[in-house]
Amino acid sequence: MSINIKNVDYSYNKNTQLETRVLENINLTIDKNEFVGITGKIGSGKSTLIKLFNGLFVPDNGYVHVDRVDASDKKTRKKVGLLFQNPHEQLFSKTVYEEIAFAPSNFGIKGDDLTERVHESLHLVGLDSKITDMSPFKLSGGEMRRVALAGVLAMKPEYLILDEPTSGMDIKGKKELYSNLKRIHSTGACVIIVSHQIDDLLPVVNKIVLMDDGKMTFAGTPSEYLENISSPVPEITQLMRGLRSKGFNVRNDVLTVDDAYGQIKNLLTKK
Amino acid sequence: MHSFFFNYVPGNSLIHHLDPRTKLLAVMVASIFIFNAETFLELVTIAGFFVIIAFISGVNYSIFLKSLRPMSLFFIFLFFIQLFLSEGKPIFTIGFINPTYEGLITGLQITTRFIFLILFASILTATTQPVMITSGIERLIRPLPLKYIGVSSFDIATMMSLSIRFIPLLFDNAKKIQYAQMSRGMDFKNNIFKSFSSVAVPLIMSTKRTAQDIAIAMESRCYQGIYRTSLFELEMKNADWIVLLGISIMVLLFMFLI
């Protein structure tokens, strides 16, 4: 079970003077048990790439297969839950319940099963079931984002894709989101996060994809990434590498502040 | 897709170089002629004028025809309303449906008039940049005593250029929301009402938010709505006066001869 992307090219404004190539010869396999981060500069093609995963965009060349079925097949849209940037801007229903029930009911889920899914998704994103009758527009910004996430989770997607989910979030919000995503991943769904904030991505994912100017320049585990790629790396890794080059005995693959803190503390107590 | 109504086509023709005020006046006069036209001969004369002016502008005719497309439903509606609801000699009768010959004629007449109206307006928009149209309108209405109803011609000009500026953004936003809802299984074939509101509600909300942000941004830069200098200073040239003279002669001829 996997998403397979083979020799994919994609251009905007095809057959016009404004034609721009945004993806070039992408080859990538994402297995269902993976927790994937896609990173790269703004305009590197990350967001375009994920729109191919559920068939919103169809590649000019090559193919995208989800569990061996072409991504443009309507059935794959149910399997691949895609949450866009600023998801609170897509809310439209009168109540939180209707908002979350929108996606599953579009895929034919009814009755008790639907109610159960709504409550389950609310629970997964850490919201109280009591808010189901409230208007989503009465909620706080953070809660609206979580309702939007719950709205996609209620589809029970086998692949959950999030585009810049942490943009505009504070540190507490980010931590909560990532712990929610880890929980969702542990229920057996594949989670794919698109973000240019590599500091947040590297510590949590087990596969990282680097995009640059429409081409995929790296795909592998975070430790392989640190061995092969010198930039971009998280700031804390950069700091520790700097210390190492000055002769301090610290590792060059530090990813978290806690890890760095432990190592620096070790150095200081040894002296 | 971005340039639905204001599809400016860059060019170097005589029409492109005319002052926007001249073109605005010409379109106004043309619309008066169009709404006075009743006989077949008059409509053909108007069509002839359109073909000639469009030829001088050097813009491809298909651009003008494209500008009719967004209105096509309206044209059809207009035609059938006239056809079925006019009194007169029936063509045939099935139950309460009875199209009349008079309805057929007025229907064709009115629809043709609207088509010409849009075609002439599309010459204006195809040969004039939106900013120029705005400053043209601003300059034309400046002498009006608008301050008694609480606005200035500059306010109106700002409103117009803001709305024109935000049409492409609106389309982008609609596209983005549509993709988001399609990812949640929205399908216009399933539940058209719910699908429509799933795009329309977020679109209206975000437009409202953008409008508020712009209002605040304008206030923090001390927007006053009083006299503002323009990047594009309008200047009437000889060609403009000649065209205006031509239009006046035509109007006088029309008034006295017919």
HEC states along B169-190? HHHHHHHHHHHHHHHCCCCCCC
Distance between CA B140 and CA B121 in Å, rounded?
17
Distance between CA A158 and CA A153 in Å, rounded?
10
Q: In this predicted structure, what is the pLDDT of residue B6?
A: 55
Q: In this predicted structure, what is the pLDDT of residue B1?
A: 41
**Residue A169's pLDDT band (cuts 50, 70, 90):** confident
Same domain, A144 and A114: yes
Same domain, A256 and A212: no
Same domain, A242 and A157: no
Distance between CA B103 and CA B92 in Å, rounded?
12
Cα separation values, B36 from B32, B190, B254, Å:
6, 47, 11
Same domain, B130 and B180: no
Same domain, A92 and A165: yes
| Sign of the CA dihedral running B193, B196, B199, B203 | negative
Same domain, B120 and B70: yes
Same domain, B175 and B72: no
Tell if the CB–CB gap between A90 and B202 is shorter than 8 Å: yes
Same domain, B61 and B131: yes
Range of lowest pLDDT (A61-75, A122-136, A203-217, B53-67): B53-67
Which ipTM score applies to this complex? 0.88
Q: Name the burial class of residue B166, with classes exposed (0-12), middle (13-18) and buried (19+) by CB atoms within 10 angstroms of its CB.
A: middle
Which H helix or E strand runs over B229? none
Digits of tens for pLDDT over chain B (258 positions)?
444 555 788 888 888 889 999 999 999 999 998 988 888 888 898 999 999 999 998 888 888 888 888 888 899 998 988 888 887 777 777 777 778 888 888 888 899 999 999 999 889 988 988 888 888 888 888 888 877 888 888 888 888 888 888 888 888 899 999 999 999 988 877 778 888 899 999 999 999 999 999 999 999 998 887 777 777 778 888 889 999 999 999 888 887 876
Same domain, A70 and A195: yes
- Arithmetic mean of pLDDT over chain A: 91
**Count of domains observed in chain B:** 2
Tell if the CB–CB gap between B187 and A106 is shorter than 8 Å: yes
B78 within some domain: yes
Same domain, B136 and B175: no
Which residues of chain B are at the A interface, by a Cβ-Cβ cutoff of 8 Å? 176-177, 179-187, 190-191, 194, 197-202, 205-206
Q: In this predicted structure, what is the pLDDT of residue B169?
A: 86
Q: In this predicted structure, what is the pLDDT of residue B2?
A: 45
Same domain, B240 and B129: yes
pLDDT per position as a tens digit, A113-154: 999 999 999 998 888 889 999 999 999 888 999 999 999 999
Query: Using the 8-state DSSP alphabet, how is residue B48 labeled?
Result: H
User: A36: domain range?
Assistant: 2-229
Same domain, A245 and A168: no
**Residue A271's pLDDT band (cuts 50, 70, 90):** low
By Cβ distance, the residue of A54, A81, A92 closest to B202 is A92
Q: In this predicted structure, what is the pLDDT of residue B59?
A: 85
Same domain, B202 and B245: no
CATH at A101? 3.40.50.300
Q: In this predicted structure, what is the pLDDT of residue B258?
A: 62
Q: In this predicted structure, what is the pLDDT of residue A238?
A: 92
Among all chains, which residue has been given the structure tokens 């996060």? A193
Query: Any long-range contacts for A14-22 (C-beta under 8 Å, 24+ apart)?
Result: A14/A60, A21/A214, A22/A48, A22/A214
Same domain, A238 and A215: no
Instruction: Give the residue from B188, B191, B185, B198 showing the smallest Cα distance to A75.
Output: B185
Same domain, A269 and A137: no
Same domain, B134 and B252: yes
Same domain, B121 and B243: yes
By Cβ distance, the residue of A78, A90, A137 closest to B181 is A90
Q: In this predicted structure, what is the pLDDT of residue A231?
A: 82
Same domain, B55 and B136: yes
pLDDT-above-70 percentage for chain A? 99
Same domain, A260 and A197: no
B146 within some domain: no
Same domain, A51 and A85: yes
Which residues of chain A are at the B interface, by a Cβ-Cβ cutoff of 8 Å? 51, 54, 56, 77-78, 80-84, 87, 89-92, 102-104, 106-107, 137, 151-152, 155
Range of lowest pLDDT (A18-27, A83-92, A251-260, B163-172): B163-172
**Count of domains observed in chain A:** 2
Contacts of A168 in chain B (CB under 8 A): none
DSSP A223-261: HHHHHH--SS--HHHHHHHHHHHTT----S---SHHHHH
Q: In this predicted structure, what is the pLDDT of residue B84?
A: 84
By Cβ distance, the residue of B183, B187, B200 closest to A56 is B183
Same domain, B81 and B181: no
> Contact B136/B20 with Cβ under 8 angstroms?
yes
Same domain, A218 and A253: no
B41 within some domain: yes
Same domain, B85 and B194: no
Same domain, A158 and A271: no
Contacts of B205 in chain A (CB under 8 A): 89, 137
| Sign of the CA dihedral running A263, A226, A222, A41 | positive
Mean pLDDT of A6-13: 91
Q: In this predicted structure, what is the pLDDT of residue A80?
A: 93
User: B174: domain range?
Assistant: 153-225
Of all residues in chain A, the one with the smallest CA distance to B184 is A103
Helices A171-186/A141-153 angle, 10° precision: 10
Contacts of A137 in chain B (CB under 8 A): 205
